[in-house]
Amino acid sequence: MNLTIDELHKLYASGDAKPSEITQAVLDRIEQTNDRLNTFLTINKEAALHRAAEADADIKDAVQTKPLAGIPVAVKDNMCTTGIRTTCGSRILGNYIPPYTATAVAKLEAAGAILVGKTNLDEFAMGSSNENSAFGPVRNPVNEGYVPGGSSGGSAVAVAADLSSVSLGSDTGGSIRQPASFCGVVGMKPTYGRVSRYGLVAFASSLDQIGPFGKNVKDVARTLGVIAGRDRYDSTSSNEVVPDYVNALTGDVKGLRIGVPPECFGEGLDAEVKTSVEAAIKKLEERGAEVVEITLPHSKYVVAVYYLIATAEASSNLARFDGVRYGFRAEEARTLSEMYKQSRDQGFGAEVKRRIMLGTFALSSGYYDAYYEKAQRVRQMLCNDFAEAFQKCDLIATPTAPTPAFKLGEKVNDPLAMYLDDIFTVTINLVGVPAISVPCGVSSNGLPIGLQLIGNHFDEARILNAAYAHEN
């Protein structure tokens, strides 16, 4: 089944298929696979079929006017959806039904998309393998013994396994790009402020960004165009004009300066990943791009800086899950303090609790300067590294992840090894620039490998075009 937007719109325009038929087929496929892959936490069956039936009537016209008319989409279950359970992969929000819809999701729907379900994720988007979900891990459709990556594992798999055309994930330290790389799809983290965060349940507010997954670059470009833009409900969203990302896909990369930082090709990088990424860069060079060596001197600090800032913000963002209002409350508690402690102890999983403790410590009186404050200073130095690099080049190319997908259970008991998996992606969130992961090869055991292309602030169009050139 080819679910790319162009393909579906061709079928809709010719009358060879209707949204209700496609939606039904997609829902059937979700039902057939979900026991195994565990992609969806909530299947939005009735509402999706109802919406698809409504779309049938004027779909031939709608494909001209609405960029996602009749397109089945999946959304990571940390984006609020009115009337549809939003769990964040956590027991603490297990039965939470929000009274409002996230701006990005509302924009998808306004563009004609049909929401087929909410996808599985690492609890509160904290994880790199999707094994931290309270609802069980997602499996990689390429090889079900392997993880799909995380935290947006469900959204990556939804696209990879043809359970939706495109999907939305959120990326705080690589949570879109790494699963895209592991599952062999395209995934983009836009510039911080490019897409409204309103309705995205916050993990680390200064790093979180919603972005699209797609089978190809064009679908990602089109979906980004739909969800991008200023939102008056998000003070950190940007006024920067949203260009036509699809029109920008010329495939012409002549003269494009691609920076390659040696720091990202050294020790710890899987040999097959290295070979594939270098070959992809070479391919772009053959098409007229110019490769320049750049340096990102503070790269060695990124994981430490990231895990201080992200956990500090998370410790505050997750304070609201205290058993008082929505969600889970430990019933056996007798005092307020017991209610807090027991609700949070029972409601959160181990990784979330670990990060809350790390973040609480980093912000504590007497430690703030040594940890959080210092991390912010290094973050500024990283921003300076990138500003300097972008004097010399237009895009930066790195591997998305140091290895292809690993086996389920392989790193579960070694959080530090898991954290190191984010080494090439977290920097991008700290600096706030956009980046994409596009498939660039397959390992000897058949697992996908991703190329990461990084651009300057609001330079998504240039990234997408280079990725498009690579793809074709």
Partner 1 sequence: MKEGWEAVIGLEVHAQLSTESKIFCACSTQVGEEPNSNTCPVCLGLPGALPVLNRQALECAGKAALAIGLRINTESIFARKNYFYPDLPKGYQISQYDKPFSEHGTVEILSAERDEGGRPIEWKLKRFGITRAHIEEDAGKSVHDIGDPGKSHVNLNRAGTPLLEIVSEPDFRTSWEAYDYVAYLRRTLQDIGACDGNMEEGNLRCDANVSVRRPGEPFGTRTETKNINSLRFIQKAIDYEIARQIHVLESGGKIEQETRLWNEKENRTYTMRSKEDAHDYRYFPEPDLPPLEVSAAWIEGLQNSLPELPETRRQRFVKEYELSPEDALTLTASRAIADFYETVIETSGNHKAAANWMLSEVLRELKNADDDINASKLAAENLGAMIRLIDNNTISGKIAKDVFAEMWANGGDPDTIINEKGWVQITDLAAIEKIVDEVIANNPKQVESYKAGRVQLMGFFVGQTLKASGGKANPQAVNDIVKTKLG
Look up 151 and say whether it is catalytic: yes
**75 part of the interface to partner 1, by CB under 8 A:** no
Touching partner 1, residues 422-451 (CB under 8 A): none
With respect to partner 1, which residue has the nearer C-beta, 364 or 384? Answer: 364
**96 part of the interface to partner 1, by CB under 8 A:** yes
The active-site residue out of 76, 107, 218, 411 is 76
Min dist. Cβ of residue 320 to partner 1 (A): 5
Min dist. Cβ of residue 165 to partner 1 (A): 24
Min dist. Cβ of residue 273 to partner 1 (A): 33
Helices 103-110, 217-227: axis angle to 10 degrees equals 110
Which amino acid type is present at position 399?
A: P
Binding residue for partner 1, selected from 135, 198, 406, 424, defined by CB under 8 A:
198
Q: Token pair of 297, please?
A: 């001197």
With respect to partner 1, which residue has the nearer C-beta, 24 or 236? Answer: 236
Min dist. Cβ of residue 289 to partner 1 (A): 35
Binding residue for partner 1, selected from 34, 143, 206, 443, defined by CB under 8 A:
206
CA distance between the termini of the chain:
21
Touching partner 1, residues 292-351 (CB under 8 A): 312-313, 315-316, 318-322, 324-326, 336, 340
Look up 175 and say whether it is catalytic: yes
Look up 254 and say whether it is catalytic: no
Binding piece for partner 1, criterion CB under 8 A, among 8-16, 30-38, 183-191, 202-210 = 202-210
202 CB neighbour count, 10 Å cutoff: 20
Binding piece for partner 1, criterion CB under 8 A, among 6-14, 78-86, 278-286, 444-452 = 78-86
Distances in Å between the Cα of 241 and the Cα atoms of 65, 168, 258, 458 are: 20, 21, 25, 9
Please check whether residue 407 is in contact with residue 145, taking contact to mean a CB–CB distance below 8 angstroms.
Answer: yes
Binding residue for partner 1, selected from 86, 299, 427, 456, defined by CB under 8 A:
86
**364 part of the interface to partner 1, by CB under 8 A:** yes
The active-site residue out of 20, 175, 181, 315 is 175
**41 part of the interface to partner 1, by CB under 8 A:** no
Distances in Å between the Cα of 11 and the Cα atoms of 55, 71, 275 are: 14, 12, 39
Min dist. Cβ of residue 360 to partner 1 (A): 7
With respect to partner 1, which residue has the nearer C-beta, 97 or 292? Answer: 97
Touching partner 1, residues 233-272 (CB under 8 A): 233-236
With respect to partner 1, which residue has the nearer C-beta, 295 or 360? Answer: 360
Binding residue for partner 1, selected from 34, 143, 360, 443, defined by CB under 8 A:
360
The active-site residue out of 128, 151, 276, 343 is 151
**Total residues in contact with partner 1, by rule CB under 8 A:** 45
Which stretches of the chain bind partner 1, using CB under 8 A? 78-80, 86, 88, 93, 96, 98-100, 102, 197-202, 204-206, 232-236, 312-313, 315-316, 318-322, 324-326, 336, 340, 360, 363-365, 368, 372
Catalytic residue set? 76, 151, 175
